[in-house]
């Protein structure tokens, strides 16, 4: 009996791991495990029933008093508005024209769209499916090899989650106790570096094997004036909106909530300028935002229940003791945590991974000493935040279980097989591993920009 009472937190983790693979909704699994183990603890005299009354207070403290979470619905609104307004189609056409002389111009254009539409990368499934619907049919129609086209779509769809102002970075900043501006800037250079590596690969592959991505022959010719107007309308305005959201937070002019409000208002203005604003469209955006917000916050509430009971059983101290007992040292513990997060990325989206693992592993991450390697404890936290974000992005792409790959298969035309997708993402995963290795070996890639722009 003593063994059971001393290891209730460990049994909670086992139960959670088993139930996650049943396909049952993650939020219900999290809340259910927390409540059931609370009852078991109560029967064993380890969890007083009155402790349940603290859970609503903890949920209110998480959602009601936290200045980051209220920004989430407005960022989701901005992303969904950009997605549904047809701006993505305009961007694709504009970039194809601008890049008409570049080999594999559509693959390069899709990568740039993944960067520009980073705010719409709320969840991996939606991001990948949107780009697949937007670009994959036309790429295949123009003779792109299915594997090559699929790889570029998967890479661009996951790239948005690590580039500001993606919503995942808001959550990581809160869960890892890092400033929002630091979290944004920590992934900007690594994310753009990955984009450059993608483009180099696409262009190089198209030059070496022109059949992999035939040049487009049906692009309309435009005069310089027409092209300038088209570029401003299609490209400059979305970039300006993202710059306002990102820049206002980094400069300290606005709080995350105010910045997200600017983004939501700017998205409505872009819809107006784009000619897609209507009551019907606005209704669709609001409904989609409400549905996605409800899903996200349901997971947040459920994770709060699980985390409260887990910590009541001293689970965080138990995990810290177990990790130290492995004798791996700082590097061993960091790589072990990254490996666990990586494997989870095969099966569930980032929101569940972040809310399940980071509260559990945060005490361990806090105990790691990389000050001499990175420069200071604060810089080490920024560096680890970037590593976790890049690690999640890589895991979503990795065959055979990469979470993003199945969403891509579900959104792809019938002629695209799962093996096509696997072959297409193999070089992308190699690029991701190279990017991760560079950030591990050169922490300055993640810490230089936060220091220069915001300071420690």
A 10 A CB-CB count for 426 gives 14
Q: Per-residue confidence at 199, pLDDT binned at 50, 70, 90? A: very high
Structure tokens at 200: 């180099």
**Dist. CA 385–CA 383, nearest whole Å:** 5
CA 302 from centroid of its chain's CA atoms: 20
Cβ neighbours of residue 238 under 8 Å, at least 6 residues apart?
A: 82, 87, 91, 116, 117, 270
**Dist. CA 142–CA 267, nearest whole Å:** 32
Interval 330-362: pLDDT, tens: 898 899 889 888 888 777 777 788 888 888 888
Per-residue DSSP letter, 254: S
- 70 pLDDT higher than 60: yes
pLDDT at 390: 92
Specify whether the CB–CB gap between 365 and 176 falls below 8 A.
yes
Cβ neighbours of residue 245 under 8 Å, at least 6 residues apart?
A: 78, 119, 165, 259, 260, 262, 263, 266
pTM above 0.75, yes or no: yes
What does pLDDT average to over the chain?
82
Interval 149-177: pLDDT, tens: 999 998 988 888 888 877 788 888 888 88
- 428 pLDDT higher than 90: yes
Q: Per-residue confidence at 443, pLDDT binned at 50, 70, 90? A: very high
Q: Per-residue confidence at 323, pLDDT binned at 50, 70, 90? A: confident
CA 162 from centroid of its chain's CA atoms: 5
CA 400 from centroid of its chain's CA atoms: 20
**Closest by alpha carbon to 94, among 274, 317, 322?**
274
Specify whether the CB–CB gap between 356 and 303 falls below 8 A.
yes
**Closest by alpha carbon to 393, among 187, 161, 199?**
161
């Amino acid at each position: 009996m003593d063994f059971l009472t001393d290891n209730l937190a460990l049994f909670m983790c086992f139960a959670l791991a088993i139930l996650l693979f049943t396909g049952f909704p993650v939020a219900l699994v999290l809340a259910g495990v927390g409540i059931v183990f609370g009852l078991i603890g109560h029967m064993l005299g380890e969890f007083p029933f009155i402790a349940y009354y603290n859970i609503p207070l903890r949920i209110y403290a998480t959602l009601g008093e936290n200045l980051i979470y209220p920004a989430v619905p407005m960022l989701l609104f901005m992303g969904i508005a950009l997605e549904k307004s047809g701006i993505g189609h305009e961007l694709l056409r504009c970039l194809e024209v601008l890049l008409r002389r570049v080999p594999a111009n559509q693959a390069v254009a899709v990568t740039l769209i993944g960067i520009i539409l980073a705010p719409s990368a709320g969840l991996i499934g939606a991001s990948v499916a949107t780009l697949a619907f937007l670009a994959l049919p036309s790429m295949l129609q123009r003779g792109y090899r299915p594997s090559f086209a699929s790889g570029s779509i998967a890479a661009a769809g996951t790239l948005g989650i690590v580039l500001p102002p993606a919503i995942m970075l808001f959550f990581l900043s809160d869960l890892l106790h890092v400033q929002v501006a630091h979290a944004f800037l920590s992934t900007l250079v690594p994310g753009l570096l990955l984009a450059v590596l993608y483009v180099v690969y696409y262009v190089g592959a198209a030059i070496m094997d022109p059949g992999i991505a035939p040049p487009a022959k049906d692009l309309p010719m435009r005069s310089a004036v027409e092209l300038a107007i088209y570029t401003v309308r299609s490209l400059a305005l979305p970039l300006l909106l993202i710059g306002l959201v990102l820049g206002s937070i980094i400069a300290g002019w606005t709080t995350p909530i105010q910045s997200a409000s600017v983004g939501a208002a700017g998205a409505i203005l872009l819809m107006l300028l784009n000619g897609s604003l209507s009551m019907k469209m606005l209704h669709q955006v609001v409904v989609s935002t409400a549905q996605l917000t409800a899903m996200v916050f349901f997971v947040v509430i459920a994770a709060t229940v699980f985390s409260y009971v887990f910590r009541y059983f001293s689970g965080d101290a138990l995990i810290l003791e177990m990790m130290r007992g492995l004798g791996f040292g700082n590097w061993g513990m960091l790589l072990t945590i990254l490996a666990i997060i990586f494997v989870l990325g095969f099966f569930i989206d980032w929101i569940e991974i972040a809310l399940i693992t980071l509260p559990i592993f945060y005490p361990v991450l806090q105990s790691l000493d990389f000050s001499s390697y990175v420069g200071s404890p604060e810089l080490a936290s920024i560096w680890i935040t970037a590593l976790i974000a890049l690690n999640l992005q890589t895991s979503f792409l990795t065959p055979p279980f990469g979470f993003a790959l199945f969403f891509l298969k579900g959104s792809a035309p019938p002629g695209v097989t799962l093996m096509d997708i696997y072959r297409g993402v193999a070089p992308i995963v190699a690029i991701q591993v190279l990017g991760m290795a560079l950030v591990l070996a050169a922490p300055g890639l993640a810490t230089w920009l936060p220091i220069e722009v915001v300071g420690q």
